[in-house]
Chains A and B, each alone.
Chain A
Amino acid sequence: MSLSRSDFQVICDWITPYSRVLDLGCGNGELLNELSSNQGVSGYGIEIDDKNISQCIKAGINVIQRDLDMGLSDFDEESFDFVILSLTLQASSYPHRLLGEMLRVGAEGIVTFPNFGNITSRIQLGLGGRMPVNRTLPMEWYNTPNVHLCTLKDFEELCEKLGIEILERRAVSHNNKTGPGLKLFPNLFGEIALYRFRKKPS
């Protein structure tokens, strides 16, 4: 088995077998396909792109064509065990609302995003004086869909504000390596940040 993205492997490890999952921005359905074939997971993907919809349907994935910015109002409270948002948070118009929605419809949320605090980005912006363009953020500032970039620190601060309890955190590089540097300084060396979280028990 080889998954095309380094964050997918971690997500698969975090998801309990046979659970119900909602994958927001599910792309071509690769993650859901993996989860359903190997872990007996069921659920739905939400996606907006026409090509991805065709590919999901071809792969036999339950996919619903929707704009995430329209919210998840069609889903009832606690419909899912996990709600996944992989490399999509930074492209959503209202990340804070989306996080709230995720924990309304699901028991746990899993979010992955490109870490804007990564050293490459810091050098490009801090020393080069230009918006970072690198492996994780390949587009130029004017054509990138990523309108809400953040660092691990930023994300954790927002979670605190929203009453979200972080259950697990991982920072990985593109090839899914987690060396000692990544463990000690995740916000500096992590290219992709991964979080598993839930509502703070009241």
Chain B
Amino acid sequence: MPEVQAQDTVGLVKSSTLLFDQPLALACGETLNAYRLVYETYGELNSTRDNAILVCHALSGTHHLAGYYSEDDPKPGWWENLVGPGKVIDTNRFFVVGVNNLGGCHGSTGPTATNPNTDKPYGPDFPMVTVADWVESQNRLTQKLGIEQWAAIIGGSLGGMQVLQWSIDYPDRLRHAIVIAASPKLTAQNIAFNEVARQAIRTDPDFHDGHYYEHNTIPEKGLRIARMLGHLTYLSDDIMAEKFGRDLRQNAINFDYGIEFQVESYLRHQADRFVGTFDANTYLLMTKALDYFDPAAEVGSDLSAVLAKACADFFVVSFTGDWRFSPQRSHEIVKALHDNDLNVSYAEIESHHGHDAFLLALPQYLSVFGAYMDRIASECTK
């Protein structure tokens, strides 16, 4: 933990775990009899409990939004740029909750957890979970935390999809829905990228049909390729040109397959970091949850019809350089919202950072997001 940051970071944080023993019926038809959810909170819940904010994470995110686990922790939580005292999601004003989704690999019950029926890790037997299942489990956490209604639920990318689902499934449990760099459903191209990533993992000889834990190994090669591919789609051509161009690691071309270009070095570094911290079965599950997400499917693909259930005020944000979930996808969401005469504001942030822009401290992003959060804060009890 760098000392210079001490002013605007939540500092040292700890996770908590809650056990849920009420069976959870999942969309896939299976039931989880009991499960754990790991979460983190920052800031104080006020006396009227109306300043609580839930942050839903994206594909590879976790409940660890901000702060450090120890003095020696080199890296803060994934949304340190936006969550902290005085920041956009101001922990001096809000009680902020991050939760690791079901099926995750950072403490909530998922493929790496022990299956009570076999006393072995669930592995590939962990049931498929959907965005709606996550929202159901998060709603149970909400009740246990004693929160009647979230001041806001916020999420980027897959997190934004959870926010949409919340607004449909539990409309009166949130006052504001903040949907960032999201999409009402994946395109064929999106699904195709996910499938290539899954095939990389599933065809790795060390995958063992998902039972790799028993073989004391992990499908490292496949997971690395999956992450490299995913990472590419989170960046833009422009930002890669700016960051790496055709720069070489050494000054000359070696005519071999080692790391020659800086961009190759970067991708391998990303893969290295990911392999040590992320479970391959979880990656498969999360990409499936993305593919399946399509809340309008049940009403003839009419997004406006399904969002007719929503009553929250919405803030939708997209980034011009995001080709994974382009601004066009956000326009679809915004249209469905104003079709229902809901309060909605929409900001399209000029950025060449690709999909990952939602993680960054871009000035206009901070400006509009901060302005919206000020509005939410003004409605909360002081």
Please list the residues of chain A having a beta carbon within 8 angstroms of any beta carbon in chain B: 20, 42, 44, 50, 53-58, 60-66, 74-76, 79
5 residue pairs from A and B, CB less than 8 Å apart: A53-B368, A62-B345, A64-B346, A65-B348, A76-B339
Measured between beta carbons, the chain A residues less than 8 angstroms from B70 are none
Taking a contact as CB atoms under 8 Å apart, the answer to whether A65 and B341 are in contact is: no
B370 and chain A: residue at smallest CB distance: A54
Kindly state whether residue B364 has any CB partner on chain A within 8 Å.
yes
Interface residues of B in 317-349 (CB under 8 A from A): 331, 334-335, 338-339, 341, 343-348
B16 at the interface (CB under 8 A from A): no
Which residues does chain A contribute within 8 Å of B237, judged by CB atoms?
A: none
Chain A residues within 8 Å of B382, by CB: none
Query: Given A53-B345, A75-B335, A79-B339, 6 other A-B contacts at CB below 8 A?
Result: A50-B367, A58-B371, A60-B375, A63-B346, A65-B346, A74-B335
B234 contacts A by Cβ under 8 Å: no
CA gap between A20 and B340 in the complex, in Å: 13
Contact digits for B338-377, partner A, Cβ 8 Å, 1 yes 0 no: 1101011111101000000000000010011001101100
Contact with A along B106-136 (1 / 0, CB 8 A): 0000000000000000000000000000000
Q: Tell me the minimal C-beta distance from B198 to chain A in angstroms.
A: 34
B345, A64: Cβ atoms under 8 Å? yes
Cβ-defined contact, A62 with B339, below 8 A = no
Chain A residues lying within 8 Å of B315, measured Cβ to Cβ, are 57
Taking CB atoms, residues of chain A closer than 8 Å to B339 are 76, 79
Closest partner residue, chain B, to A70 (CB atom)? B331
Within the complex, the shortest CB–CB distance from A48 to chain B, in Å, comes to 9
Most chain A CB neighbours (cut-off 10 Å) among B334, B343, B345: B345
Chain B residues with CB under 8 Å of A66's CB are 346, 348
Q: How many A-B residue pairs have CB under 8 A?
A: 52
Residues of B in contact (CB 8 Å), total 21
Given contacts A57-B375, A58-B371, whether A42 and B346 have CB atoms under 8 Å apart is no
Separation in Å of the A67 CB from the closest CB of chain B? Answer: 9
The complex places the Cα of A63 from the Cα of B334 at a distance, in Å, of 11
User: A58 touching B375 by the CB < 8 A rule?
Assistant: yes
Chain A residue nearest to B334 in the complex (CB): A64
Q: Which residue of B lies closest to A56 (CB)?
A: B345
Minimal beta-carbon separation of B310 from chain A (angstroms): 15
A62 and B368 within 8 A (CB): no
Q: Which chain A residues border B367 with CB–CB below 8 Å?
A: 50, 54
Q: A44: nearest residue on chain B (CB-CB)?
A: B338
Closest residue of B by beta carbon distance from A57: B371
Give A49 Cβ to nearest chain B Cβ, in Å. 11
Taken together as a complex, chains A and B put the C-alpha atoms of A20 and B367 apart, in Å, by 28
Q: Are A54 and B371 in contact (CB under 8 A)?
A: yes
* Assembled-state Cα–Cα distance A62/B176 (Å): 13
Complex Cα–Cα for A54 and B364 (A) = 8
Closest 9 CB pairs of A and B: A57-B371, A58-B371, A74-B335, A64-B346, A54-B367, A65-B348, A63-B345, A50-B364, A54-B371
A74 and B375 in contact, given A54-B368, A57-B345, A64-B344 (Cβ under 8 angstroms): no
B331 (CB) vs chain A CBs: closest residue = A74
Most buried by A among B339, B368, B374: B368
Decide yes or no: A62 and B364 within 8 Å by CB, A74-B331, A75-B338 being known contacts. no
B136 to chain A, nearest CB (A): 30
The complex places the Cα of A75 from the Cα of B367 at a distance, in Å, of 27
CB-CB under 8 A from A55, the residues of chain B are 371
Report chain A residues within 8 Å CB of B344.
Answer: 44, 62, 64
Q: Considering the chains assembled together, what is the distance between the CA atoms of A191 and B371 in angstroms?
A: 35
